[in-house]
Amino acid sequence: MMVTPSVAADTTADLTVGEQDGLKAALASLSTERMMRDIADLSSPAFRGRQTGTNEDRDSASFVSNRFSVLRMHRALARAFQHETNPPLPQQEWKQTAPVTVRSIGKDPALRLSLRADQTQRTVGVDFLPVLDSPSADVHASIVFVGYGVSDPGQGIDDYAGVDVRNKIVLFLRGKPDPYTGSVTPSDKERIAKEKGALAYLTATGPALSAYEARRGISGKPSAFHSGTTSPHQLPGAWISTATAEAILRQGSPDSTELKILQEELNRGQARPVVTAVTAELKWASGSSAGHLFNIASVIRGSSQWADEAVVIGAHRDHFGHQAGLLFAGADDNASGTAVLLEVARVLADSAAAPMRSVLFVSFSGEEQGLLGSRLYIAEPVIPLHKTMAMINVDHAGIGNGRLTVGLTGIEKSFALKMGQAAGLEDQVDVFGFFPGGDHVPFKEAGVPTVTVVSGGTHPHFHQPTDTVDTLDPEILRRTARYVLAMAWQLANAPASSKQDNREPR
């Protein structure tokens, strides 16, 4: 489904003096201490990593819902509507829910990955981590390196050319080679490996990072992720560290091939599979159960003739839970974005005047399992999508180099930079185009303009058990909140554009 907002805000227009003063007061009232307390609570052992579909995910939804209730947004704004001749939609909060499958990996001693080449058993969370929706594994087989794991002869890419991987474990790099213009997901790679006859797969980050990977702080550590495979005949799979992948190539190939050299060749379009002499043992137990995800939404209604239009501020609160004996607390990812969401909601609810447009706050679940929560929202929007002026997504908001990274679709770069100045963050904002991952993606696909805000620089604890509250920088968190508030304030209060698009939603 593609929609087009019926009336666009004129983001080039300046706010009135009163609105500028209101923004300054709102920015000054942001509390970094309150946000850090929320992150500490949400990333505590009590919430066990907030895995989608678990009781702890439900509890984290209640945490957010209770905070919205405490704000009593409808009471704070009730006087703004006492003389409305055309009343807005009723003040309320929403809960969206959908069934999900909860997948889990059991802990030691049943869990292990060992390489026969050096007789070393690898450490879970350091050297390897099973893919979190992987089936149970009990596999002994030799390893074959198959580049990026792509097989698309129509585009001249076949990493399996000339090699037999039947009854083998395949090893491939995450991502795709530079010359390849097609799209390929982890689920696609798993399907290809199975079609080729592989028993299991290993995946790793290559030593040569792309610009996007470097910007997002992707490291060589094994990371938690779901493959997203829906087939009942999945392959067991694990993410291994770059160092472990390099060891496999060094120890197991006749010419001691270096992984970096192989990756550089792949990025030049030269596929070269390597049949190694390394035999691996993969062993773990996985389980599944039924659960429900929960989206929580709350609105501050607009106070003008544009109250039926809305700016959406969203952040996912789910993470990976308790897996393989490890707690994935998810402080930066994304208790930090959730804390920013709650704090911006508090500040706007406490403001002296309601915004001209409505502002809808949505706490998504299911982001780590393929954007399930945001896709559910797009299917059942609280505010009609053709009345949604923009979606601001906040993710990974508390670690980095002190700068902010902003990704845009449907919004001008100059406007995003101007919002940095409005937030008091001159020359601290780096603006890019579309970010390929996150809860903004379904909105972008539906034709809604999007703004993605993450803290810049590397995030060394990305999808790691070490993503805990003590690793966050309160000043970075404060800057993120200031930017999100300034952006939402401008979008919600900018006058209507003289350029109107009155097309019906599709």
- For residue 28, count CB atoms less than 10 angstroms from its CB and return exposed for 0-12, middle for 13-18, buried for 19 or more: exposed
Q: 52-94, pLDDT tens digit by residue?
A: 999 999 999 999 999 998 876 444 444 445 444 443 334 457 8
R_g (Cα) of the chain, nearest Å? 24
Per-state percent for the chain, helix, strand, coil, to nearest 5: 30, 25, 40
Q: What percent of the chain has pLDDT over 70?
A: 85
Residue 70 forms part of a structural domain: no
pLDDT at site 9: 60
Domain enclosing residue 318, as ranges: 7-48+296-375+382-456+466-497
Q: How confident is the model at residue 21 (pLDDT cuts 50, 70, 90)?
A: confident
**Arithmetic mean of pLDDT, 111-138:** 79
φ/ψ (deg, to 5) at 230: -105, -5
423: its two tokens: 């937030």
Strand segments, DSSP code E, in 160-224 are 169-173, 200-204
φ/ψ (deg, to 5) at 457: 90, -175
- The domain boundary, picked from 263, 284, 305, lies at 284
- Whether residue 10 is predicted with pLDDT greater than 80 in this model: the reply is no
Tell whether 279 and 318 lie within a shared domain.
Answer: no
- The domain boundary, picked from 284, 319, 339, lies at 284
Spatial neighbors of 7 by CB under 8 A, at least 6 apart, are: 306, 309, 496, 497, 500, 501
Tell whether 255 and 397 lie within a shared domain.
Answer: no
184: CATH:
3.50.30.30
Which comes out higher in pLDDT, residue 182 or 93? Answer: 182
- Whether residue 215 is predicted with pLDDT greater than 80 in this model: the reply is no
Q: Calculate the average pLDDT of the chain.
A: 87
- Whether residue 315 is predicted with pLDDT greater than 80 in this model: the reply is yes
Q: How many CB atoms lie within 10 A of CB 277?
A: 13
Q: How far is CA 216 from the centre of its chain?
A: 11
| Torsional sign, CA 328, 330, 331, 332 | positive
CA–CA dist 173, 282 (Å, integer): 18
Number of structural domains the chain divides into: 2
Q: What percent of the chain has pLDDT over 90?
A: 64
332: CATH:
3.40.630.10
The residue with tokens 């087939």 is 231
Tell whether 250 and 144 lie within a shared domain.
Answer: yes
Tell whether 168 and 237 lie within a shared domain.
Answer: yes
Q: 127-169, pLDDT tens digit by residue?
A: 899 999 999 999 999 999 999 999 998 888 999 999 999 999 9
**Arithmetic mean of pLDDT, 177-194:** 91
Residue type, 110: A
Question: With contact defined as beta carbons under 8 Å apart, do 354 and 301 qualify?
Answer: yes
Tell whether 163 and 36 lie within a shared domain.
Answer: no
Tell whether 421 and 478 lie within a shared domain.
Answer: yes
CA–CA dist 137, 115 (Å, integer): 15
- Which of 239, 287, 283 has its CA nearest to residue 464? 239
Q: 475-496, pLDDT tens digit by residue?
A: 999 999 999 999 999 999 987 7
CA–CA dist 284, 108 (Å, integer): 8
Partner residues linked to 372 by β-bridges: none
Tell whether 165 and 205 lie within a shared domain.
Answer: yes
**Arithmetic mean of pLDDT, 258-272:** 89
The residue with tokens 């845009």 is 408
Q: 386-444, pLDDT tens digit by residue?
A: 999 999 999 999 999 999 999 999 999 999 999 999 999 989 999 999 988 899 999 99
Q: How far is CA 187 from the centre of its chain?
A: 17
pLDDT at site 91: 47
**What sections of 423-473 are H helices per DSSP?**
441-445
Which comes out higher in pLDDT, residue 309 or 156? Answer: 309
